[in-house]
Structure 1
Amino acid sequence: MKKSWKKGLAALLMAASVGIASAAGGSLYEKAPIDLGDRVSLQRGAQIFTNYCLSCHSASGMRFNRLTDLGLTEDEIKKNLMFTTDKVGDVMHAAMSPADAKKWFGAAPPDLTLIARSRGADYLYAYLRGFYQDPTRPSGWNNTVFDKVGMPHVLWEQQGIRAVELDKDGQPVMVKDEHTGLMAPKLYWKTTGTMSRTLPDGNVLTKEYDNYARDLTNYLVYMGEPAQMKRKQIGYVVLMFLLAIMLPLAYFLKKEYWKDVH
């Protein structure tokens, strides 16, 4: 009975650790360098989102005027970020209708308000950098973290084009990834983009595009919970209040109650 109890506890702890690792993206994805305190990054991310994502994806839980929390004025929002509505108090609805999206892509693109909370920042950061050309797909594109993705690579001009090697039968060549140990498509750089360049040794430097993807990921994380930074600040203040004021009061009160006992 005792042994079975210990085995059950060990299994429960193992399952919990696996669940935590999965929720955090595990070791499959590189850690996304997000910083919700970086307003410049969040502003760039909001611009990327409205310019490239809002054409197909909605963010129905986010209003344009909430971007004033990032240091933008309503005039700046109207001039640079609003392309689907004229009212700054409206939510971020996609320019494309769901019916057209389903007809062209096979399914309506998901709402992205809570995508960072459901998928995780590490996943999104890897996804934005994981597109490659795949002639076996209807759109001509695939993704290293979302196999058989229906979305085309809208940022290919910035990143450049990676393509998958094909075997003699016209099928993608698969190799073992040295980081994850999983099978992955064998890719090569077809062309560089406006935010990538070829080094003298033949490797491609993508740091500028990686920062671009980081800004968009940063904004998606912010959009999932715009009050997160304020909530944390309030939490720090409450903790300081408890430690600096309530804890000494509780200590002296305890001494007063127990002075006759000790």
Structure 2
Amino acid sequence: MKKFIASVMFALSASVMVSGAALANEGGVHLESANINIHDQASLQVGAKYFANYCMGCHSLNFSRYNRVAADLGLTEEQVTKNLIFTRTDGEPTKAGELMKNGMSPKQSAEWFGAPPPDLSLVGRSRGSDWIYSYLKAFYVDKSRPMGVNNTVFENAGMPHVLWELQGLQAKECTKEGEGEHAVEHCEMKTVKAGTMSPAEYDKVARDITNFLTYVGEPAALHRKTYGVFVLLFLGLFAVLAYFLKKEYWKDVH
């Protein structure tokens, strides 16, 4: 029976991993490794800064609160209020204890972009860090799209390339090798307009934003291992106590 339960649990976990990988690699797109570290507080701070300045005009984080982010990222509420909050609630400045919502009207955003921009609270868990990192680097010029850009990771996305001033503009150049059914297409990105950052600098920005969104998807991951260590220490201490208690109870029996 134990073997059966173990095999069922293994099969379920494997199916979840496969489905997650299939979602992340939808369309057979190659994803670059984000190589992030959610315990890198400096990276999280930079990611929060760029997200608030470039992304949060459209995308909200409805499951996060400013003060929780401040505590985890080592920021004071004053720093968060001055540098991350750009919205108002009922005419008053948004407070640090409120949810990280934006001021965009869902109705207007649907008219502008075809659909309201999604909340990104859980994108780190649903898509994965490699997907986010690759997506931020995969925009290219496409005059057939309403926003003038497309994305190799998420084709025909309605989102403009809000970070183009930092990265610059890329063009996708493809060549085919072979003929007929055996033809293989190879595509490369080439810079057609330089941004204010070098490729290495922009890679770091994309990685920092990815790190922040991954953290937001599961803030408890910052402290989960610490809790586990204390639990194991408690169980070890309890095991010693239980052993001597057992000896005390059974000493008269033997």
Fold conserved (TM > 0.5)? yes
Match runs of 1:181-192 below 5 Å:
185-192=187-194
Partners of 1:138 and 1:129 lie apart in 2 by 19
Structure 2 residue matching 1:34: 3-state secondary structure? coil
Distance verdict in 2 for CA 1:33–1:147, change over 3 Å: same
| Matching residue of 1:59 | 61
Partners of 2:138 and 2:131 lie apart in 1 by 10
Structure 1 residue matching 2:145: 3-state secondary structure? coil
| Matching residue of 1:71 | 74
Distance verdict in 2 for CA 1:157–1:232, change over 3 Å: same
Deviation at 1:261, TM superposition (A): 10
What is the aligned counterpart of 1:231 among 212, 224, 236? 224
What is the aligned counterpart of 2:45 among 18, 43, 46? 43
Partners of 1:256 and 1:147 lie apart in 2 by 70
| Matching residue of 1:114 | 122
Partners of 1:94 and 1:214 lie apart in 2 by 23
What is the aligned counterpart of 1:246 among 228, 238, 242? 238
Q: Is the CA contact 1:130–1:144 (under 8 Å) kept in the aligned structure 2?
A: yes
Structure 2 residue matching 1:233: 3-state secondary structure? helix
What is the aligned counterpart of 2:36 among 28, 34, 51? 34
Partners of 2:141 and 2:13 lie apart in 1 by 37
Q: Where in structure 2 are there 5+ consecutive unaligned residues? A: 1-6, 178-183
Identity value in percent: 51
Match runs of 1:165-184 below 5 Å:
165=173, 173=174
| Matching residue of 1:83 | 86
Paired AA for residue 188 in structure 1: K
Deviation at 1:233, TM superposition (A): 1.2
Aligned length: 229
Paired AA for residue 29 in structure 1: L
Residues 27-76 of structure 1: per-residue CA shift (max 9 Å, x gap):
94222222111111111111111111110111111121222211111111
| Highest RCO, 1 vs 2 (Cα 8 Å, sep ≥ 6) | 2
| Matching residue of 1:136 | 144
Superposed CA RMSD: 2.9
Structure 1 residue matching 2:193: 3-state secondary structure? strand
Q: Where in structure 1 are there 5+ consecutive unaligned residues? A: 1-8, 166-172, 177-181, 197-205
Paired AA for residue 231 in structure 1: R
